[in-house]
């Protein structure tokens, strides 16, 4: 049985805000097992605490941090939690609620011809 928490993000009132399911230990779950668990929760967002592989998303970032803190997680610095995702390190401020600044959206690498044509058409 996995420990998980449902967090209502952006509110202090239960069953308001944006719900997210947070699985506390997901490192050894297969993709199929994660998908089954996410379907079971019937929520639009489910996160798994594991080594950094999750791309950045706002309310799952806050909900995951909140669940980790409530489960007894202890930040290395007072008032701040550093969370790692594919976008890099996200600093969450923890004073009277959680807050963060969104990371810069950086994309590098090759652009396929169809995408380049679409962008050029939109920009004129």
- Read off the pLDDT of each residue in 38-55 and give the average, rounded to a whole number: 82
Looking at the chain, the whole-number percentage of residues with pLDDT higher than 90 is 21
- CATH number of the domain encompassing residue 27: 3.10.310.10
Contact partners, residue 116, CB within 8 Å, separation at least 6: none
Predicted local distance difference test score (pLDDT) of residue 40 = 94
Give the tokens for residue 112. Answer: 């396929």
Number of domains in the chain: 1
Q: Predicted confidence band at 104 (pLDDT cuts at 50, 70, 90)?
A: low
What's the count of helices (H) and strands (E) in the chain, helices before strands? 3, 6
86 with 54: CB under 8 angstroms? yes
Catalytic residues: 45
26 with 49: CB under 8 angstroms? yes
- Read off the pLDDT of each residue in 101-120 and give the average, rounded to a whole number: 76
Residue 78 domain boundaries: 4-123
- Read off the pLDDT of each residue in 9-29 and give the average, rounded to a whole number: 89
Element (H, E) at 108: none
List, as own/partner pairs, every contact residues 110-116 make where C-beta atoms lie below 8 angstroms and the sequence separation is at least 24, other chains included.
Answer: none
pTM of this structure: 0.48
């Amino acid at each position: 049985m996995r420990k998980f928490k449902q967090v209502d993000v952006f509110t202090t009132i239960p069953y308001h805000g944006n719900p997210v399911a947070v699985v506390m230990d997901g490192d050894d779950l297969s993709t199929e097992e994660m998908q089954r668990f996410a379907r079971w929760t019937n929520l639009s967002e489910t996160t798994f605490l594991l080594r950094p592989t999750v791309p950045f998303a706002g309310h799952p970032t806050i909900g995951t941090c909140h669940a980790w803190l409530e489960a007894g997680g202890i930040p290395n610095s007072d008032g701040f939690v550093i969370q790692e995702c594919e976008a890099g390190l996200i600093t969450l401020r923890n004073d009277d609620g959680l807050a963060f600044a969104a990371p810069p959206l950086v994309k590098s690498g090759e652009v396929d011809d169809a995408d380049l044509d679409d962008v050029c058409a939109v920009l004129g």
